[in-house]
């Protein structure tokens, strides 16, 4: 599958075939894709937590109301960021954008490998991010939780080109 196909094939999957596993080499391809994402000043302000443990996946569903399909999926990848990665940047910095780019690369790589995914936002919900960081025992800020597994549904495509949302300056 080329990148054009992967972008158009990606869906938010909320039903997974239970009891499936993902080979380590596929997990590593997804993580490598994430770490190939661009980041401000090449700061790479991310770390990743791969949650395959069934009990932890169940506990996560108690903390995050929008990831109820996680127990049936094979795993979750939690993308965490380090806000301090660029200390001289004003405001909140660019770590959320950098981690979002890494998240999208995981989604596309997983699609290319034939897996279903669902991006569940964590940050900027401070309570949710703090609870998830505590459960996962990480210092970084959880930005997104990606459910990954073998899909048990094939929803219709929702994305499309909307020319009314494009302005050309020539």
Domain boundaries, given as residue ranges, for the chain:
15-152
Task: Record the tokens describing residue 53, joined without a space.
Answer: 């443990």
**Strand ranges, E, within the chain:** 46-51, 75-81, 116-121, 141-149
Q: Are residues 76 and 31 in contact, defined by beta-carbon separation less than 8 angstroms?
A: no
pLDDT exceeds cutoff 90 at 86: no
- How many residues make up the chain in this entry? 170
pLDDT value for 92: 81
| Top-confidence residue, 86 or 96 | 96
Residue 119 φ then ψ, to 5°: -85, 115
Task: Record the tokens describing residue 151, joined without a space.
Answer: 């899909």
Instruction: Kindly report, residue by residue over 14-53, the tens digit of the pLDDT.
Output: 999 999 999 999 999 999 999 999 999 999 999 999 999 9
Task: Record the tokens describing residue 73, joined without a space.
Answer: 């999926």
Mean of pLDDT values over 118-132: 98
pLDDT value for 89: 81
CATH for the stretch 15-152: 3.40.109.10
pLDDT exceeds cutoff 90 at 115: yes
Closest CA to 93 of 142, 24, 39: 39
Strand ranges of the sheet holding 46-51, from the earlier edge strand across to the other edge: 46-51, 75-81, 141-149, 116-121
pLDDT exceeds cutoff 90 at 87: no
To the nearest whole percent, how much of the chain has pLDDT over 90? 95
pTM for the full predicted model: 0.96
Res. 91 pLDDT band, cuts 50 70 90: confident
């Amino acid at each position: 599958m080329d990148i054009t196909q992967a972008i158009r094939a990606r869906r938010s999957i909320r039903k997974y075939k239970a009891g499936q596993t993902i080979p380590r080499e596929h997990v590593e391809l997804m993580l490598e894709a994430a770490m190939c994402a661009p980041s401000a000043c090449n700061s790479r302000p991310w770390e990743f937590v791969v949650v395959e443990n069934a009990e932890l996946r169940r506990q996560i569903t108690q903390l995050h109301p929008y990831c109820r399909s996680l127990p049936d999926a094979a795993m979750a990848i939690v993308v965490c960021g380090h806000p301090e990665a660029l200390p001289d940047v004003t405001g909140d910095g660019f770590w959320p954008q950098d981690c979002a780019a890494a998240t999208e690369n995981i989604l596309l790589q997983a699609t290319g490998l034939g897996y279903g995914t669902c991006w569940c936002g964590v940050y900027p919900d401070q309570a949710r991010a703090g609870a998830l960081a505590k459960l996962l025992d990480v210092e970084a800020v959880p930005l997104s939780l990606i459910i990954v597994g073998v899909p048990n549904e094939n929803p219709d495509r929702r994305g499309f080109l909307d020319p009314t949302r494009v302005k050309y300056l020539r």
